[in-house]
Chains A and B, each alone.
Chain A
């Protein structure tokens, strides 16, 4: 078996899988067909619902991939074929010619600068912007190297030019490159090929042919500060700022005519995001959204769409527009639509229209499916193995992740990525750590004492033309040589090249250096490289210092060479001052207990426990009830595949009970949790009321949710047996006795009961619509002549198969739509048999309706499980405003808590269906087992430390620490005539991330962050302010 994995697709899915896999002990080949990783997320302006800059939160992960020694990055490569069996696949890879030698290219950009003016449409900018034929897809591209567009290049098409070849200082241009094929051996394959958003098909029916109609992804680029218009929202016809912008949702999706019979799941939420950002960008713009159903599928997403309206004044129209025409004089767009709230036909004039066109599987999925021998479903998404195993493809050992399996947003993609990594860790658990390399340094670390005189070496980088053209590098180098303690200073073309690394090591040895500085680019991408070079030369990596004279100097002062040079001099001088005070820092290894604790024995908890146990880790599963199963116990049939809930429950329960690595605690309660990642002490009160003490490495929270009981609403009370909740209907359907249906002629299911309101429960619980659609079918099968009425506001049918599911059900029920402003009135009309009168305004019909029903089913939202606060206190993790657990980051860390070592999944995080719960459970298990897979946890040297003599035990640091790394310890202090208990702050370096919040908060300066202590910072400031004057006076 091979301990390596092939990941196809370098978007956020592929990136997350790769990073997780290496932490689980696997080598990764990451193949991306475009020249850079980053995928669609790199094209987005901001991400909902936090409005984080998309690239800003993605780029660190891209860089992490780039720097990870166990990820072999193959951009501009394609997978041609995969043969073999799980554990032993052979993949044939095609390397496409970049015409630039990636080993030699340093990304200086000289080739693009000199490339004659052939402006090619830029796919990264959705073809709105242009680029040269020698190019890098975007500034933050990873790998940061250039390539030549063979279809546009003058030399490759016409045999003339070669200007770039002459211009390249690194001699990297190679027009002789040919496509290459090669084989790699891997144990598993992951497909994560994402989506595309073609709008061309919408020309005729949706007006995409007009100049001022753009697709959602095009608008994303228009909004983006680094986009073709620098973030100024302008329209294409006259480059003027549009005052009225119309967003049209479902343009071409949920549309059999366009062959997109599914809902793309994410447009409702990203429309709200785009409208909000637009309102923020320009005061003169007003945004209007044409929507049909609101399907904001995900945590707090519905509330986000409400925020767009309430806080930002975005106007929503309930309508799928009828026609869109262009006013030939102004290029404005004339939209004709029916306002479904009032039933009136209206005409709307917009300056710019954004079509939220369907998100469909990427081009080439059919070919890739054939190459991998995996099935596609009827929508051309990759077919999952079975509905509840969405992370596996139809072929064993080949996994699916992200949008290529079905529409989903980024958090779900990230959660699934961790789930895939976990399943691979399960499949290949016997070959973990067989193909990863760990760096071993041959030269022993040199002892550097505080009293040793600093001997500093400096290297100043030209970075091709990036620095060299705007900063006088030789002058800088000459100046640096004059600084005290600088023993040697050299300038070079590329400090990051491999010969430069050799040179650094030579300099350290030759001059017996005990500090080293490189003045070049950003620590984000290059610090670890130079640190490693220092370590190879026997220098502690914390004795290295990187000065950024590019991003923050040459790039921002391109027109002022002298000032740039002066600033570079200042920056380096400051870092030399700091360097004198640098100390070697130690990275400690902490032992961990290789056990997992899963709290909650529902489908999520059981799935998580099975995964960690199958990976070989002892897992304790704690359930408060007598039996495993959670909510699944009460369900009848599972949508949309109509599998019996009991079947899934028994299968899973059976696996859990038979698994030797799982120890079950039923009817048990967690008493206390102490300790930290890798080393928790957990006390559990078991079913015999005995306290069990467990040593735990990592904790997974899977406490689930429960149905909200609408007491007193819509005749729901103890007296009325025929007004029930959806869960109560499930239980009735599940029971053998169906006499409750006798005499029932009409059933009314009312959706959104006590949900999506202005006050109280404001969120959409995502799952009730599909549940009621399912029950329509089940009821109809039980009693074919039953009349079923569904009262709805919007139907939440996101996800690929749900629209079809809903489409099929429409024949079995009458769907009446109501408004939050005009809630239906329900009154009891009779007792034996029970009858209820319903009065409502039917917005579809624009008329009042009055009818009677024999059975009323109220679909209420899911709310968090009881007593979560107590558990949250024990775990020291937060709950959100709705009472669900709050994850570390809603976008990119949906399964983590900010505190290391604790993870969450299932309905504890947010209401979700069984498929998502299982996928998330695997993801949480994957995140957790990264810790368990490692022998020890390595702490960073860059942590905060307390000076106990100064600490007054006020505890302010404890309050502010986002990672729960600080606690107060108590000790008795004896004075002459009194003894008292005093408190001292204590920082757990295993949990500390070195953010420095505590240091800034401490009122007595008792905390400092290593490597960034007060002396070091102060000396930099001094050096800037004081020595600057001296140098000027010297000059």
Chain B
């Protein structure tokens, strides 16, 4: 099933796909890289460079000097984590990760096998995504995970975009609670039923960043866009950092009116806003004081991939700080916020010793910071949990999704009845 389509075989589902391609793909890579003035700051920043030879600035210079073909065919760009650490520190805002994304599309047009060999889990999950992109494929999701107390609907204002997490349960059980806990949180706060759809498609994040399947990505995006319109929603909440980024940023690139029509929020952002607005408060179940030292792993999509003006990474820390009164003490890891280390794998690309070394380093940092590590990206959870099977010294760390962490702490503030 890993045998992918070769160049020329990809048939667009929609006839206007070229218009959409222009919005997410620039074939002239030099045009994107030309701002680079070869300070080489990125090459020492690069997280990958700490475990293998990988020199973004030199790769850029080679492309600028006309050796693009050599770079594309060498397969070196398969290795990039697309963690955006380089962009974060680049004085010229050269978006290397985005270049890698486009280069992977080019690679696919030349030699798909080279790219496909790097996909983890035998490309099972990316294949599921791709299947969903076909026009004749209508996903019929199993909604048995929906907790009984939560009322859901096909249409409404607020949608919970569940994403891939229910598909992962065939292989992993670490994420089983994420969708249900997220839905519990939203339902607790909102009065009306929450939209959860059987026919929700994959957001396409991994095809877009990892596998260079832009046509399939565009098709998925269109399906979801139409779905959101059918459901009549105005707010879309995700519990996944990748889904959040894809909907909020990439879909807005594709569809000019997307951000006007739909407001996309990560559940963490949603919780923060409700807390700031005074609609919720944090309490321990039974008001029992606990004693937990916890830390937070900033996933790259909810960190370096946020727009420059976003204050989210500071906001959530404000919220974490307030949990002190419940007995949850928040500690930073050595590398945090914009300097946070990557979980080591992105878009199902490249699971190997080198990426394990990155994960191991991260978990050692987490261990030094507390007993619990909270994060907001299901993939990060999977990658870290997996490594815990390999190393005993980090096995004790409790890795939790934010929804799991918050679900029992959130209490709706009852509005006082106004005295007339």
Contacts and interface: CB of A to CB of B under 8 A. Distances in A.
Interface of A: 204-205, 250, 254-258, 292, 319-323, 336-338, 340, 343, 345, 795, 806-807, 810-811, 814-817, 842, 844-846, 849
A811 B33 CA distance: 8
Interface of B: 30-31, 34-45, 49, 55, 57-58, 61-62, 64-66, 88-93, 337-339
Nearest to B38: A844
B94 to A, nearest CB: 9
B179 to A, nearest CB: 34
12 contacts: A254-B91, A255-B91, A255-B92, A322-B40, A336-B44, A345-B43, A807-B35, A807-B92, A810-B34, A811-B34, A815-B37, A844-B61
Contacts of A343: 58
A997 B338 CA distance: 63
Q: Chain A interface mostly helix, strand, loop or mixed?
A: mixed
A320 B65 contact: no
Q: Chain B interface mostly helix, strand, loop or mixed?
A: helix
Contacts of B58: 343, 844-846
B64 A320 contact: no
A817 B65 CA distance: 12
A160 to B, nearest CB: 36
Contacts of B337: 204
Contact of A322 (B35, B43, B61, B92): B43
A730 to B, nearest CB: 25
Nearest to A255: B91
B362 to A, nearest CB: 16
A339 to B, nearest CB: 9
Contact of A320 (B31, B41, B62): B41
Contacts of B38: 340, 815, 817, 844
B323 to A, nearest CB: 24
A345 B54 CA distance: 11
Contact of B35 (A205, A320, A810, A849): A810
Contacts, number: 84
A205 B49 contact: no
Given A254-B91, A845-B58, A810 B37 contact: yes
Contacts of A337: 44
Contact of A257 (B30, B93, B339): B93
B61 A323 contact: no
Contact of A811 (B30, B61, B65, B91): B30
Contact of B91 (A204, A257, A814, A816): A257
Contacts of A844: 38, 57-58, 61
B65 A814 contact: yes
Nearest to A337: B44
Contacts of A256: 91-93
A845 B57 CA distance: 9
Contact of B40 (A205, A255, A319, A807): A319
Nearest to A338: B40
A807 B37 CA distance: 8
A328 to B, nearest CB: 10
Nearest to B337: A204
Contacts of A319: 39-40
B368 to A, nearest CB: 12
B89 A338 contact: no
A320 B30 contact: no
A811 B29 CA distance: 11
A321 B41 CA distance: 6
Nearest to A810: B34
A321 B44 contact: yes
A846 B42 CA distance: 16
A833 to B, nearest CB: 22
B89 A811 contact: no
A811 B31 contact: yes
B194 to A, nearest CB: 37
Nearest to A293: B37
B91 A338 contact: no
B65 A845 contact: yes
Contacts of A254: 37, 91
Given A321-B44, A322-B43, A322-B45, 10 more contacts: A250-B39, A254-B91, A255-B92, A257-B90, A292-B37, A320-B91, A338-B40, A810-B36, A810-B37, A814-B65
B66 A814 contact: yes
B93 to A, nearest CB: 5
Contacts of A257: 88-91, 93
A338 B43 contact: yes
Which one of B35, B44, B88, B93 has the highest number of Cβ atoms from chain A below 10 Å of its Cβ? B44
B93 A204 contact: no
B93 A340 contact: no
A845 B92 contact: no
What are the 9 tightest A-B residue pairs by CB atom distance, in nearest-first order? A322-B44, A320-B39, A255-B91, A811-B34, A810-B34, A338-B40, A256-B93, A844-B61, A320-B41
Nearest to A843: B38
Contacts of B90: 257
Contacts of A849: 65
B44 A338 contact: yes
Contacts of B62: 845
A232 B44 CA distance: 34
A614 to B, nearest CB: 43
A343 B44 CA distance: 11
B336 to A, nearest CB: 10
A787 to B, nearest CB: 9
A807 B91 CA distance: 12
A256 to B, nearest CB: 5
A340 B45 contact: no
Contacts of B41: 320-322
Contacts of A321: 41, 44
Contacts of A845: 58, 61-62, 65
A204 B37 contact: no
B39 to A, nearest CB: 4
A338 B41 CA distance: 8
A755 to B, nearest CB: 21
A414 to B, nearest CB: 31
Contacts of B40: 319-320, 322, 338, 340
Contacts of A811: 30-31, 34
Contacts of B66: 814
Nearest to B32: A811
Contacts of B91: 250, 254-258, 320
A305 B339 CA distance: 34
Which one of B42, B58, B90, B91 has the highest number of Cβ atoms from chain A below 10 Å of its Cβ? B91
A901 to B, nearest CB: 47
A255 B65 CA distance: 23
Nearest to A339: B40
A615 to B, nearest CB: 45
A320 B57 CA distance: 12
Contacts of A807: 35, 37, 92
A78 B37 CA distance: 42
B44 A816 contact: no
Which one of A205, A292, A320 has the highest number of Cβ atoms from chain B below 10 Å of its Cβ? A320
A345 B49 contact: yes
B44 A323 contact: yes
A617 B241 CA distance: 73
B70 to A, nearest CB: 12
A204 B43 contact: no
Contacts of A816: 65
Contacts of B31: 811
Nearest to B39: A320
Nearest to A787: B66
A844 B93 CA distance: 19
A257 B91 CA distance: 6
A583 to B, nearest CB: 67
Nearest to B43: A338
A842 B66 CA distance: 14
B177 to A, nearest CB: 34
Which one of B39, B45, B339 has the highest number of Cβ atoms from chain A below 10 Å of its Cβ? B39
A806 B36 CA distance: 11
Nearest to B335: A325
